[in-house]
Amino acid sequence: MLNLSPAEWSAVGLSLKVALGVAVITAVPAVLVGWLFARKEFRGKLLLESLVHAPLVIPPVVTGYLLLVTFGRNGFAGKWLAEVFDVRLVFTWQGAVLASAIVAFPLAVRSVRLAVSMVDARLEEAARTLGYNRGRVFMKVTLPLAWPGILGGILLAFSRSLGEFGATITFAGNVEGSTQTLPLAIYSALQVPGEETLAMRLVIASLILCFASLLISELLTRKAKRKLSVTHEA
């Protein structure tokens, strides 16, 4: 069993806290955007898809810098949040959640899109002929069939946030006990000569958390595929 110090446990706890926050705030938008991409064709769809998936290819440090410019003390959004709601995101764990969510959101959207696209559209059309509106069709037909894949996508975003580094350190900083997640704690340990053992303990803890969440995500995705294949055969 890992013999972590209180500071190391703090990094583990903060990583889980940030990852859970990412899962919560990305769940509903990812479901809506994923459904939109799977079921609708409209002008500008390609551009919107490119914007949503841009964080997958943009260097995370660039994402963090753009967040800093936008939500920093002198950024238009940051200044507005501070003046109206007295909310400051820079160098806070909430800022770490925002940075991780931006990076992880495209992964959740892609998983939701795949899960929804695998649902037979004829079932949704049949429900509409019975008088269901679009909202009820989604809640009664689409969501029950696609939920394992949707949940898998949310867990994938959770897993991605556990390993987020570039955007987080740029926007939220690396403050021990406040914004220092596991990747940042590993980075700090590697900067100190003779702390290889500490770094290894943190690496092992990170691997355990990431592999566990990825395993659950993969199991749910496979469950969704089996469920939908049975529906198609029926």
pLDDT in tens, 110-165: 999 999 998 888 888 999 998 888 889 999 999 988 888 898 889 989 999 999 99
From the number of C-beta atoms within 10 Å of its C-beta (0-12, 13-18, 19+), residue 84 rates as exposed
Kindly indicate the confidence band of residue 195, based on its pLDDT and cuts at 50, 70 and 90: confident
Q: Which of 128, 140, 148, 139 is nearest to 227 (CA)?
A: 148
Q: What tokens were used for 178?
A: 């406040």
Range scoring the smallest mean pLDDT among 114-128, 190-204, 212-226: 212-226
Which pLDDT band, with edges at 50, 70 and 90, does 232 fall under?
Answer: low
Quote the mean pLDDT of the chain.
90
Coil vs helix vs strand at 173: coil
Which amino acid appears at position 216 of this protein?
I
